[in-house]
Amino acid sequence: MNKAFVREAEFDGRAYCPRCGTLGTAVNQATLDQQIQAGFRRQIGESAWFCSHPTCDIVYFDLLERTVATDQLRGPVYPKDPAAPVCACFGFTLDDIDADLGEAAPVRIRQLLDRSRTDEARCRLLAADGRCCVPEVQRLYMKGLAARKR
């Protein structure tokens, strides 16, 4: 068939990391401006995607396959660095999740949930993916619970 008559698929808003193939999370310009060192900010467009694969060194990428690597950020981000806070707004870490797993109730996670609903939460700027951390914290907690039951 002649390719002149084949219609290309329309862009559906999804983008995949050019290094590892992980489906990216769209981030806005404010997130990029906050996270990327000034000298590297110009090498990626105004809109980009976050690669959440923990071992991939690409953090942000755009449709032209321009990338920003972990060493071009202002600081470490979760999940690229497991020692970095899961919640950049309030400094909530994997150690906090482990501590809640060792107790009768997830007190720290509940406090984080309450704080995430306040004006103090600045997820769009401080989180590497521009999103609230609560779903990820809950996922990690449930994963930890399931592992302890085995």
Q: State how far the Cα of 101 lies from the Cα of 106, in Å rounded to an integer.
A: 7
Q: Is the pLDDT of residue 3 over 70?
A: no
pTM of the full predicted structure? 0.89
Which structure tokens are listed for 56? 């991939």
Smallest Cα–Cα separation from 133: which of 80, 71, 90, 73? 90
Q: pLDDT, tens digit, for every residue of 103-140? A: 999 999 999 999 999 999 999 999 999 999 999 999 99
Q: pLDDT, tens digit, for every residue of 17-49? A: 999 999 999 999 999 999 999 999 999 999 899
Q: Which residues pair with 61 in a beta bridge?
A: 49, 67
Fold of 15-81: N-terminal domain of TfIIb (2.20.25)
Q: What is the DSSP string of 118-143?
A: STT--HHHHSTTSS-SHHHHHHHHHH
Which structure tokens are listed for 126? 């401080």
Q: pLDDT, tens digit, for every residue of 79-106? A: 999 999 999 999 999 999 999 999 999 9
CATH 2.20.25.270 domain range(s) in the chain:
15-81
